[in-house]
């Protein structure tokens, strides 16, 4: 149940291996990597609200652990300036069975997208522009609410 907000890149293979290392009850590890897409942008800068970011990520992970039968959860989110193709975010979940791992991993991403205080600014040919929040992200998150989806 570990959360990191950092400038540095991370080692996806090592993070995934750590989710089941020494735990022979872990039969399933689901993970997600989000990357900077290059569509018309030269770079992206991620701003965050230090303190609240870590707190909100920890709350999202705790909620996932409450909803599903999980063994370990790892969230890493980068901040600062990133180039197209660079990794932004990692979410990894281990569990006994795959259903819990898949559901929790997608849940953490959906909640992170709508509840964790990060903001993206894109640099392109036309200058720099803050990314608008997407309604589809709200819809994705609301699937997990009672009566949602």
Partner 1 sequence: MIKLLYFAGLREALGVPAEALALPAGVDTVGTLRAHLAARGGSWQVFATSRSLRAAVNQAMAGMEAPVGSGDEVAFFPPVTGG
Q: Which residues bind a copy of itself (CB under 8 A)?
A: 11-14, 16-17, 20, 24-39, 84-85, 96, 98-99, 101-102, 105-106, 109, 136, 140
> 57 vs 70, which CB is nearer to partner 1?
57
Using an 8 Å Cβ cutoff, are 93 and 73 in contact?
yes
| Nearest Cα residue to 88 out of 10, 2, 31 | 10
Least Å distance between CB 116 and partner 1? 5
User: Is residue 4 at the binding interface for partner 1, with CB under 8 A as the rule?
Assistant: no
Least Å distance between CB 107 and partner 1? 13
Q: Which does 39 bind (CB under 5 to 8 A by kind): a copy of itself, partner 1, none?
A: a copy of itself
| Nearest Cα residue to 105 out of 138, 68, 137, 142 | 68
Length of the chain measured in residues:
149
Residues 6+ apart with CB under 8 A from 131: 119, 120, 121, 122
- E strand intervals along the chain: 2-6, 28-35, 43-48, 70-78, 80-82, 87-95, 118-124, 127-130
Q: Which does 25 bind (CB under 5 to 8 A by kind): a copy of itself, partner 1, none?
A: a copy of itself
User: Cβ atoms within 10 A of the Cβ of 47, count?
Assistant: 14
User: Is residue 109 at the binding interface for partner 1, with CB under 8 A as the rule?
Assistant: yes
User: Is residue 102 at the binding interface for partner 1, with CB under 8 A as the rule?
Assistant: no
Binding residues (CB under 8 A) for partner 1: these are 34, 46-49, 51-52, 55-56, 77, 88-89, 98, 109, 112-121, 130-134, 137
């Amino acid at each position: 149940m570990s959360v990191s907000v950092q400038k540095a890149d991370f080692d996806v293979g090592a993070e995934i291996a750590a989710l089941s290392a020494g735990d022979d009850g872990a039969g399933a590890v689901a993970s997600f990597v989000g990357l900077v897409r290059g569509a018309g942008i030269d770079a992206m800068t991620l701003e965050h609200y230090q303190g609240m970011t870590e707190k909100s990520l920890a709350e999202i992970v705790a909620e996932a652990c409450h909803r599903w039968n999980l063994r370990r959860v790892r969230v890493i989110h980068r901040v600062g300036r990133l180039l197209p193709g660079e990794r932004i975010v990692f979410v990894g979940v281990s569990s006994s069975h795959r259903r819990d791992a898949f559901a929790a991993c997608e849940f953490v991403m959906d909640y992170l997208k709508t509840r964790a205080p990060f903001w993206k600014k894109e640099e392109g040919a036309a200058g720099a522009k803050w990314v608008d929040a997407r309604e589809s992200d709200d819809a994705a998150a609301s699937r997990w609410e009672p009566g949602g989806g």
